[in-house]
Structure 1
Amino acid sequence: MGELITAAFSTSNLFLTFLLGLVSLYWLSVIVGAIGMDSLDFDLDVDADIDIDVDLDVDVDVDMDMDVDVDADVDMDTDVASIGTASGGSAFLGILRFLNFGRVPFMVLLSTIILSVWSISIYCNHDASLINPGNSTSMAALLFFPNLIVSLLLSKIFTAPLVPIFAKLNTSEKALVIDGKVGTLMTSIKEEETGQLKIDINGSIVSLSVQSNDGKSIRKGDKVVVIEKLESGKAYIVQKIEHH
């Protein structure tokens, strides 16, 4: 145990240990309900449509034994998703999709990647290591990128079983009618920040990330009503129920 702590806080591994500490702090905050699991999440959308409709009509008449009449009509409908695989940007998005970005919550993926990078780095960079026996910082830097590539692939393998689970959860959430439901705040909402709301839907307790509709603070334990979902899809707008 002492050797692990020594290796973790050595110069070669200190930054990764710091990142692992931040990730651990994040999940601890999620467990106690201070923040929502999707508070740092984002959507990966690889589909894009472009519709271009151009009508051009040109008439030119010149009285010099010359008569020119040109009529052009162009109608173009392009689906970027169908041709984008040939472009660098779409290839990059394809790689992200392959690694389960956009299919599994971002923080789940990031946590898996950081844990994997940290574990491999600890294994490779310590005084008794066969790969970097002197725990050289320069050697650790050279090993970082191969470590990252391996960790990305390991993260895909580890999170693969979660893909259908989160896909089902997303489908179930879309099928639920949330607007108009009344619930109790699990955490306070401070001005325009996000809090956590607990509501009962058909006997099932659902936790949602919510924001105040007027930007004012709402205390933990207050009753609120869900108004609508934000366009970003990350949270719902709620209004405090005033008791008279």
Structure 2
Amino acid sequence: MPEIIKVSLEWPTLPATILLGICLLYWVCVILGFMELDFLDFDLDFEIGTDGPSFLDFGFIGLRFLNIGEVPVMLWLSIFSLCMWMLSINFDAGVKINSAMDYLPLAIRNIGISLVVTKLITQPFKGYFHFTPPNQIETLLGKSCVVTSTTVTDRFGQGELETEGAPLKLHIRAEDETIQKGDLVRLADYNSDKQVFYVVKISQES
């Protein structure tokens, strides 16, 4: 064990050791409750522009191919850093490094192999960590709900939408009509500023 520690703290293994150490520190902080699990995670959702794909678009595609963003970034980085460290420990120990040019070929080799190994290891987890919050506005539009308030006007109204769990209580408004309690209405639009749905009475739709 002392020999491994000695090699880990020497060139050319030191950069991989530092990266692995940062990942280990992150997981220790998560376990102890000092950090949230999704800290430093980010989303790589993107859309290719209408004017055609750009260099940045292809860069995102490359990251997606490596499963960066498909799995939590710190999980990906932890596997990558462990691969880098193990490669450096096994193949670079004892190699004399006199300049950055001496280290560059080793780094390129280790990074390349680590990318491939990390891609293969994380592939089974692709999509497993994706979570779509329920009851998103886009998914609610077009659905029907029952009016629970006495009336629905352009200033006041409440409705109840049946879901798989507890009914969802909504603030609703009607612009051109007065709707009564118990009427079935369709969620036609949403005002994000007022956080209310605009509805139309289903029986009056043609």
* Unmatched 5+ stretches in structure 2: 137-164, 166-206
Per the normalisation by structure 2, the TM-score is 0.59
TM-score (norm 1): 0.50
Runs of 4+ in 1 over 4 A off after TM superposition: none
Q: Which residue of 1 aligns with 2:111?
A: 148
Map residues 166-185 of structure 1 onto 2, 5 A cutoff.
Answer: 166-167=129-130, 170-171=131-132, 174-175=133-134
- Quote how far apart the aligned CAs of 1:143 are: 0.9
Instruction: Give the number of equivalent residue pairs.
Output: 134
1:39 maps to what in 2?
Answer: 39
Give the drift of 1:46.
2.3
Q: For residues 76-135 of structure 1, give each alpha carbon's deviation from its aligned partner in whole angstroms, at most 9, with x where no partner exists.
A: xxx35xx31xx32222111111001221111111111111111111111113xxxxxxx1
Counterparts of 1:92 and 1:142, CA distance in 2:
23
State yes or no: 1:97 paired with 2:57. Answer: no
How far apart, CA to CA, are the structure 1 residues paired with 2:125 and 2:135? 21
1:155-170 alignment runs, 5 A limit? 155-167=118-130, 170=131
Q: Tell me the secondary structure at the aligned position of residue 128 of structure 2.
A: helix
Higher share of residues assigned strand: 1
CA RMSD after TM alignment: 2.1
Q: 1:166 to 1:3 in 2, by over 3 A?
A: same
SS in 2 for 1:160: helix
Matched, 1:19 2:19: yes
Instruction: Please list, as runs of the form range in 1=range in 2, the aligned pairs for 1:199-238 lying within 5 A after superposition.
Output: none
Cα 1:141/1:40, change in 2 over 3 Å: same
SS of match in other structure, 1:136: coil
- Alignment gaps of 5+ in structure 1: 50-78, 128-134, 178-201, 203-244
1:125–1:140 contact (8 Å) kept in structure 2: no
Aligned counterpart, 1:216: none
Per the alignment, do residues 136 and 176 of structure 1 end up closer, same or farther by CA in structure 2, a change over 3 Å counting?
farther
- Answer whether contact 2:48 2:57 (CA < 8 A) is retained: no
Q: Which amino acid aligns with 1:36?
A: E
2:127 alignment partner, SS class: helix
Q: Deviations over 1:154-200 (max 9, x none)?
A: 11111111113212xx13xx1279xxxxxxxxxxxxxxxxxxxxxxx
Deviation at 1:48, TM superposition (A): 4.7
Structure 1 counterpart SS, 2:62: helix
SS of residue matched to 1:164 = coil
> Percent same amino acid among aligned pairs?
35
